[in-house]
Amino acid sequence: MNNNNENSLWVERYRPFGLEGYVGNEHIIEKVKIYIENNDVPHLLLHGDAGTGKTTLAKIIVNSIDCDYLYINASDERGIDTLREKIRGFAASVGFKTWKVVILDESDYLTRDAQAALRNLMETFSKSTRFIENNLQNCSTDTSLQFSGKSNSFTSSSISIVTLIISFCFILLFTINIFLLGVFLDKSK
């Protein structure tokens, strides 16, 4: 655990910096360990009740891999201008590390226009930038990690942010198509 006496907020003072200090959600820790060991994190949608460790895990991930990151609290900066200016500028800039990661905390507060723009940004910058989104809404997608203080299993529920699911599915299909194209080209040689 981090014992940062400079911060007066208890939640920040004792927030863990690594997986060794992260308590609970054992079903998620194993998957995240693999991402960190490979220094390759997919786009993630973390969802669950308040206080279950979503933001903490996102911060642990970015502190554990070779990346530059941008943190945005979408409940404060939820409009399309934030996506166009801050996120696009960050994703398009030259980085000094392997990855760029955008943490969108409370992404369920994004406006509809911002959600549509986010999909485009995820597609455009998928080679170098990953998105970790936290929200309180329930999700129904394999790319989401369900947080719970009581359960050690994945759960599947409904989601009200359909755009996020579409974005993740599109990126997955795009990745599969690239892979299949590579296999086809290798066989044609």
Share of the chain above pLDDT 90, in %: 19
State the average pLDDT for the chain. Answer: 75
- The confidence score (pLDDT) of residue 154 equals 31
pLDDT digits (tens, 9 = 90+) for 55-105: 899 999 999 999 999 999 888 887 788 788 898 999 999 888 989 999 998
Task: Provide the 10 A C-beta neighbour count for residue 14.
Answer: 13
Q: Average pLDDT in the 116-123 region?
A: 86
d(C-alpha 135, C-alpha 46), whole Å: 6
Cα–chain center distance at 44:
4
pLDDT digits (tens, 9 = 90+) for 19-53: 888 887 788 888 899 989 988 889 888 888 888 88
| Nearest to 44, CA basis, from 148, 114, 116, 145 | 145
Decide: pTM greater than 0.85: no
Residue pair 156/31 in contact by the 8 Å Cβ criterion: no
Residue pair 16/22 in contact by the 8 Å Cβ criterion: yes
